[in-house]
Structure 1
Amino acid sequence: MSKAVWQREELATDPHRRGDKAEKVQAMFAAIAKAYDLNNRLHSFGLDQRWRRAAVAMAEVTAHDDVVDVACGTGDLTQLFADAGAKSVRGLDFTPQMLDIARAKSARVQAVKIAKPTRKQAAVPTYEWGDATALALADASVDVLSIAFGLRNVGDPRAALAEFRRVLRLNGRLVVLEFDEPRNSVIRALNRFYTHRVMPWSASLIAGDTSGAYRYLPRSVETFLNRDSLKSAMLSAGFASVQQRALTFGTCVVSCARVHG
């Protein structure tokens, strides 16, 4: 059983204002890493990979692109960028337990490709520890930088956006996939019932989790930047244009910001 990370009284306030948010998020993901993929598939009704593919499509990846997937977790989005034909793909995360799973999954993918070779050659993703607010990357060294369901969990999201802008090349793209609250009041009410009442109980049961991760999730969404505020934050960080696409009735949004000269 995992130890409690988020207390109920802590989630009664805004978790994004806590000075120890980053440490709590790291401990939380360490606790749920083994059941992370299963819970994602079950509680998104299998849509989470479709959302990730939408993010890859918005990035318009080419065979010349160097891609960095920040807060890569278990590597699902990272692998999709590799499959899309990028020149190189690197996954960064600050939870070692998630990186261990990402590496194991990548090894299985490569084993299948060796056993069943095709003409299409895809980059092999690499995975390493990384902090979204202090990337160990040179200025203007990345063509595409992605972060899926991770910006909300960063200790200082605006500092992360500035860091993303620093490492992106001219004409580079930042792709942010994040949960949002649906704008339709009926759908929003149904979504809140599901995410506050159903999902925390069932996901915690599946993961054997007592860290509070699945109580933190809906609370962190409703207290985070909505799509309009996120767009403004991206523009304030120095990005020249932002395109957004709402997915599945607005329960999540993919935002693509570009670096212009």
Structure 2
Amino acid sequence: MFDGVARRYDLTNTVLSGGRDAGWRRATREAVRARPGQTVLDVAAGTAVSTVELAAGGVTAIACDFSQGMLRAGAARAVPKVAGDAMALPLADASVDAVVISFGLRNVADPDAALREFLRVTRPGGTLVVCEFSSPTWTPFRTVYLEYLMRALPRIARAVSSNPDAYVYLAESIRAWPDQPTLAGRIQGAGWDDVAWRNLTGGIVALHRARRP
């Protein structure tokens, strides 16, 4: 499915988010707080547009994605790339300073297993940042947002995406995803400490940040 959306993935994301995707990427990079020389693993990196953002400021950012079609679509982006499963990463224990996953955790077959795997590859004291769709905090806005997801989003996707049917799944997966406190509890349950979150765009997106003990 992700191979099928790869060709126009970046354009579709920009259109569906109303251009807010660039701001979400900047906020994610800022949440990582990586220092020059550190290594950041960008899981579910897609075409690596998020990895390029993470690499700003002298950080080594590695794009990792299960979809080789996505990685091929981002081949021109000059960052290291590796094909890999979020639940079985092709990295050694304690080999990176931070793990980031943006809009990908809800697509993993077992998100809790992935969170434990992220812990395995992160050095003690290292950082996890999860940028994911979440639950708008204002009830009237949440109602309008859900209507957009289930009605408008698939229609817009038909106009711009290379695989519009995939965006029906996208809408359903966002609606089924746990809210901010529930996801925080699952991150903590996977072994991470100091779990906190910050809402973006009224809670459409939430940034969860945690530390490896």
Normalising by the smaller structure, the TM-score range is: over 0.9
The one of 91, 98, 101 aligned to 2:70: 98
Separation in 2 of the partners of 1:254 and 1:57? 11
Q: In the alignment, what sits opposite 1:231? A: 184
The one of 144, 162, 166 aligned to 2:116: 162
CA contact (8 A) 2:7 2:162 kept: no
Deviations 1:84-131 (A, max 9, x none): 321x22110011110012222x15xxxxxxxxxxxxxxxxx2011010
TM-score by length of 2: 0.96
Number of matched pairs:
213
Which blocks of at least 5 consecutive residues in structure 1 are unaligned?
Answer: 1-27, 108-124
Which runs of at least 4 in structure 1 moved beyond 2 Å after TM superposition? none
Q: In the alignment, what sits opposite 2:195? A: 242
Separation in 1 of the partners of 2:93 and 2:82? 19
The one of 138, 147, 160 aligned to 1:184: 138
Separation in 2 of the partners of 1:78 and 1:133? 19
Identity, % of aligned positions: 40
The one of 85, 94, 106 aligned to 1:140: 94
Deviations 1:127-162 (A, max 9, x none): 110100001111111101100000000011000000
TM-score by length of 1: 0.79
Is 1:214 aligned with 2:167?
A: yes
Aligned-pair Cα RMSD in Å: 1.1
Is 1:67 aligned with 2:40?
A: yes
SS of corresponding position for 1:58: helix
Deviation at 1:205, TM superposition (A): 2.4
Deviation at 1:183, TM superposition (A): 2.3
Deviations 1:16-65 (A, max 9, x none): xxxxxxxxxxxx11111111111111111111110111011011010131
CA contact (8 A) 1:61 1:85 kept: no
Larger relative strand fraction: 2
Residue type of the partner of 1:100? R
Larger radius of gyration: 1
Residue type of the partner of 1:135? L
CA contact (8 A) 2:100 2:128 kept: yes
SS of corresponding position for 2:198: strand
Residue type of the partner of 2:74? A
Q: In the alignment, what sits opposite 1:16? A: none
